[in-house]
């Protein structure tokens, strides 16, 4: 038996949409699957579908539709006319670095008198600060242009005014109730701003400013726009989709020296670059500068015209990224040990463990704790807050990540009297507080989780686009799925479901047989399936059985041959009903055996327990699946690990237990 690791939620598909998909398929000469995906994603008529697939620079919006743009352009041009010194003030993440670099190129091309400033993450923190503004005044700056920051800097901008410095704010973050008294504020999310697209990254807003200043969209800088937009997880729709597509095309055909050096350091082939290469290859290296050193190293890479200098910068960023990975692994290990200690303490006390993971450590690098929080969220699927403690002051800086259904910002608002500062949204947030408040924060956040979340909310969810069949998995169809690119936030790579598909063959492949290769279908019409890290499932899948699976279609090229392939994300297989259903006592016997083992290789475990306890292999596998669902055990790296302090749960609360019991009882009733 192989059960789904997550809840599969299939996007709604109405019968009325079938006609629209058929029409699109005919009018736009698209495979039926591509047409159905377009309709399912909201592009049901020919005009909107064409715009989504083929929009170009003519579809970019007028930058002057942004409130404050005329004032911003007027002030910058006045500074240019009078030779005033301008300072670009950015942020230390990849979006802020991209925004700063873009305006650097534009201002250099315009011949302006300017420089740039990015605060140090650890020493100064996010946003404008008065010390940096005072330094700007000392150095003769008369105009600060913010990028990817500034919308909440009311007091700092007032202070700048007292020093004779004007400020133009360009930002994309949520505006507060009181906007800063700047000479111009450009942000599409302002309530009074009628700009038709609200999803621009900070670099996207900077690009619109550049377009207004130059009188044309500077598409030669779209590569920089694509970097910041993808890294900041902005929706790849509307203008973002257009700009990222132009940016990827530029990277493939005419990348600048900085990007060529970055690609070399990242091991990326530029002629075949896609959005995921930026997200997982380039962006982490750009972010590493601000996390561990100073973001100006990344700006230097993106603004230099010297390839030798670029290679040196790219190698430094790659080294920083490797160090970042080492630090993340170290903190994640410490955090996991702290969490296991909390679970053990709860078990010994006979109490329920916290529903929200709140962990803090002295010396934990606050530049990477968000990544650590994401790792623990993925491992335990519960909301996580990771904090670094300043040993001298006792103040903690934290980063939080959440699961569906638990709104971090709303939860922190409920706890705001415990916090010095906080901000964020449903899925991610940051906060500062004193270490004395940590225990109370954990209790309050956990109580809210228990109040707000249902039993189902604690099970990870996978969104599935469309159910399809083998007839959809053709080379032509898969090739034309690329029309939907670039993939990313709000436009993910299509995740497809195949139900009741016959398994022709299976085998474990790769080093230590870690991966699973399937032949799906029957006769001559077969689809290859590849499941990375799923090699242990091979013994559970008998040839000829029928499985449900979800994954992404791709083309596998090997020895000049091109074949359709399904990259498996998850699978479900149920064997026939058990002849004899295990008793509760037998469940307890097997669980105690697992507790004594503590940590044991997954391969061969079913057979070992079967022989030891005298149960069938199917019965033992059912028990393992039920224990995993109830979080009594977990799988990691090809091993089963017994949880130290699992929450007490009845067997009947397991969906897998109930389904198997019902199947058993039904088959015996019919007999």
Domain match, 519 and 617 both: no
CATH number at residue 661: 1.10.10
Whether 204 and 79 share a structural domain: yes
Average pLDDT on 468-473 reads 92
Task: Select the highest-mean-pLDDT range: 317-331, 562-576, 630-644.
Answer: 317-331
- Whole-number pLDDT of residue 108: 98
Give the Cα separation of 130 and 161 in Å (integer): 11
How far, in Å, CA of 149 to CA of 208, rounded?
Answer: 15
Q: Is 561 left (phi over 0), alpha (psi -120 to 50) or beta?
A: beta
Asked if the structure places residue 179 within a domain, the reply is: yes
For residue 556, being part of any structural domain is answered with yes
What's residue 82's pLDDT?
97
Residue 139: exposure state from Cβ atoms within 10 A (0-12, 13-18, ≥19): exposed
Residue 274, in any domain of the structure? no
Helix (H, G, I), strand (E, B) or coil at 577: coil
What is the reported pLDDT for 559?
87
In the predicted structure, residue 670 carries a pLDDT above the cut 70: no
How far is Cα 247 from Cα 227, in angstroms, rounded to an integer?
8
pLDDT on residue 637: 65
| Pairing between β-strand 546-558 and β-strand 515-522 as defined by DSSP bridges | unpaired
Task: Report the pLDDT value the prediction gives residue 671, as an integer from 0 to 100.
Answer: 58
Q: What is the pLDDT of residue 666?
A: 79
Looking at 180, 199, 218, which one is the last position of a domain? 218
Domain boundary among the residues 408, 431, 454 is at 431
The CATH code of the domain that includes 160 is 3.90.1640.30
Structure tokens at 398: 């934290």
Same domain, residue pair 74 and 205: yes
202 and 102 within one domain: yes
* Per-residue 3-state assignment (H helix, E strand, C coil) for 198-235: CCCCHHHHHHHHHHHHHCCCCHHHHHHHHHHHHHCCCC
Reduced to 3 states (helix: H, G, I; strand: E, B; else coil), residue 622 is helix
How many structural domains is the chain composed of? 4
Q: Are 90 and 117 in contact (CB under 8 A)?
A: yes
CA-nearest of 278, 298, 374 to 332 is 374
pLDDT, one tens digit per residue, over 517-557 is 999 988 778 899 999 999 988 888 887 888 999 999 999 98
565 with 632, same domain? no
pLDDT value at position 8? Answer: 93
Same domain, 99 and 212: yes
If asked whether residues 122 and 199 sit together in one domain, one would say yes
Distance (Å, rounded) from C-alpha 153 to C-alpha 173?
Answer: 12
Residues 18 and 108 in one domain: no
Q: How many whole angstroms separate alpha carbon 438 and alpha carbon 436?
A: 6
Segment 328-338 shows an average pLDDT of 97
Q: What is the pLDDT of residues 245-288, one digit of tens each?
A: 999 999 999 999 999 999 999 999 999 999 999 999 999 999 99
Res 640: pLDDT: 85
* Cα 213 from Cα 208, distance rounded (Å): 9
* DSSP bridge partners of 503: 520
Yes or no: say if 462 and 497 are a contact pair by the CB < 8 Å rule. no
The top-scoring range by mean pLDDT among 175-179, 186-190, 426-430, 533-537 is 186-190
Distance separating alpha carbons of residues 145 and 184, to the nearest angstrom: 10
Q: How far is CA 406 from CA 184, 383, 443, in A?
A: 37, 8, 15
- The pLDDT, as a whole number, for residue 576 is 65
Q: 426 or 27: which carries more pLDDT confidence?
A: 27
659 domain residue, yes or no: yes
At 581, list the tokens: 């259903």
Q: Which domain holds residue 41?
A: 7-53+463-572
Place of tokens 């990277």: 251
pTM assigned to the model:
0.83
Q: What is the pLDDT of residues 608-619, one digit of tens each?
A: 888 888 888 778
Question: Looking at the domain assignment, is residue 458 inside a domain?
Answer: no
CATH number at residue 400: 3.10.310.30
Residues 6 or more apart from 596 whose CB is under 8 A from it? none
The confidence band for 38, taking pLDDT boundaries of 50, 70 and 90, is very high
Instruction: Pick the closest to residue 5 from 504, 664, 656, 497 (CA basis).
Output: 656
State mean pLDDT over 625-630.
88
Q: Is the pLDDT of residue 14 over 90?
A: no
Q: Are residues 504 and 591 in the same domain?
A: no
Task: Note whether 651 and 626 are within 8 A (CB).
Answer: yes
Residues 119 and 86 in one domain: yes
What angle do the packed helices 222-231 and 202-214 form, to 10 degrees?
A: 160
* Lowest pLDDT segment from 445-449, 477-481, 504-508: 504-508
The encoded tokens of residue 477 equal 């169809």
Q: Pick the last residue of a domain from 193, 218, 243.
A: 218
387 inside domain:
yes
CA dist., res. 501 & res. 526, Å (int) = 10
Q: Are residues 148 and 180 in the same domain?
A: yes
d(CA 449, CA 438): 16
- Give the mean pLDDT of 502-511: 90
Q: Confirm whether 599 is domain-assigned.
A: yes
In this prediction, residues 219-235 reach a mean pLDDT of 97
- Strands (E) located in 363-509: 384-389, 395-401, 421-424, 428-434, 461-464, 466-467, 496-509
Give me the mean pLDDT over the 446-471 stretch. 93
Q: What is the dihedral of CA 11, 13, 17, 20, to 10 degrees?
A: 40
The mean of the pLDDT values for the chain is 93
Q: Is the pLDDT of residue 667 over 80?
A: no
**DSSP type of residue 648:** P
Residue 615 lies in a domain: yes
Nearest to 355 by CA among 246, 459, 453, 219: 453
Whether residue 32 is found in the same domain as residue 135: no
């Amino acid at each position: 038996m192989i059960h789904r690791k997550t809840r599969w939620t299939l996007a709604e598909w109405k019968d009325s949409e079938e006609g629209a998909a058929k029409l699109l398929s005919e009018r736009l000469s698209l495979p039926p699957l591509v047409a159905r995906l377009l309709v399912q994603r909201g592009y049901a008529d020919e005009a909107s579908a064409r715009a989504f697939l083929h929009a170009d620079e003519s579809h970019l919006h007028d930058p002057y539709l942004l409130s404050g743009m005329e004032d911003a352009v007027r002030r910058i041009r006045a500074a240019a006319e009078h030779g005033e010194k301008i300072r670009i003030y950015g942020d230390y993440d990849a979006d802020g670095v991209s925004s700063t670099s873009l305006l650097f190129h534009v201002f250099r091309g315009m011949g302006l008198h300017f420089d740039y400033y990015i605060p140090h993450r650890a020493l100064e923190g996010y946003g404008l600060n008065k010390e940096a503004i005072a330094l700007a005044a000392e150095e003769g700056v008369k105009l600060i242009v913010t990028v990817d920051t500034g919308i909440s800097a009311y007091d700092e901008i007032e202070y700048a005014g007292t020093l004779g410095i004007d400020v133009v704010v360009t930002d994309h973050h949520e505006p507060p109730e009181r906007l800063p008294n700047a000479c111009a504020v450009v942000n599409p999310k302002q309530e009074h701003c009628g700009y038709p697209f609200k999803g621009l990254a900070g670099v996207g807003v900077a690009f619109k400013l550049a377009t207004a200043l130059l009188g044309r969209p500077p598409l030669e800088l779209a590569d920089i726009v694509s970097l910041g937009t993808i890294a900041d997880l902005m929706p790849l729709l509307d203008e973002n989709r257009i700009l990222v597509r132009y940016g990827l095309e530029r990277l493939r055909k005419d990348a600048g020296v900085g990007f060529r050096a970055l690609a070399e350091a990242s091991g990326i082939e530029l002629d075949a670059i896609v959005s995921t290469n930026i997200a997982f290859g380039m962006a982490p290296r750009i972010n590493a500068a601000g996390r561990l050193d100073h973001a100006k190293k990344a700006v230097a890479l993106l603004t230099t015209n010297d390839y030798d200098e670029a290679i040196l910068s790219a190698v430094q960023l790659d080294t920083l990224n490797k160090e970042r990975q080492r630090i993340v692994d170290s903190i994640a290990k410490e955090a996991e040990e702290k969490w296991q200690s909390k679970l053990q303490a709860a078990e010994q006390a006979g109490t329920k463990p916290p529903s929200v993971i709140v962990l803090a450590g002295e010396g934990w690098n606050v530049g990477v704790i968000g990544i650590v929080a994401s790792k623990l969220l993925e491992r335990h699927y519960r909301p996580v807050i990771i904090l670094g403690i300043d040993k001298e002051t006792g103040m903690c800086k934290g980063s939080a990540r959440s699961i569906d259904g638990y709104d971090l910002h709303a939860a922190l608002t409920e706890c705001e009297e415990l916090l010095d500062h906080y901000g964020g949204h449903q899925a991610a947030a940051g906060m500062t507080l004193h270490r004395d408040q940590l225990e109370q924060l954990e209790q309050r956040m956990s109580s809210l989780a228990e109040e707000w979340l249902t039993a189902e909310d604690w099970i990870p969810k996978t969104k599935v686009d469309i159910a399809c069949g083998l007839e959809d998995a053709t080379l032509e169809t898969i090739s034309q799925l690329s029309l939907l690119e670039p993939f990313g936030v709000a436009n993910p790579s299509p995740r497809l479901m195949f139900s009741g598909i016959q398994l022709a063959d299976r085998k474990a492949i790769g080093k230590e047989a870690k991966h699973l290769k399937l032949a799906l279908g029957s006769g001559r019409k077969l689809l290859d399936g590849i499941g990375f890290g799923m090699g242990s499932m091979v013994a559970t899948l008998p040839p000829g059985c029928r499985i449900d699976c979800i994954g992404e279609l791709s083309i596998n090229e090997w020895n000049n041959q091109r074949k359709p392939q399904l990259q498996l994300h998850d699978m479900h297989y149920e064997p026939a009903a058990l002849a004899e259903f295990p008793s509760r006592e037998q469940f307890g016997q097997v669980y105690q055996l697992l507790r004594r083992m503590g940590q044991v290789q997954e391969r061969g475990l079913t057979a070992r327990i079967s022989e030891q306890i005298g149960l069938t292999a199917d019965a033992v596998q059912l028990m393992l699946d039920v224990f995993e669902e109830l979080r009594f055990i977990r799988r990691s790296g090809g091993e089963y690990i017994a949880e130290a302090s699992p929450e007490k749960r009845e067997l009947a609360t397991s969906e897998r237990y109930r389904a198997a019991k019902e199947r058993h009882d039904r088959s015996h009733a019919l007999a």
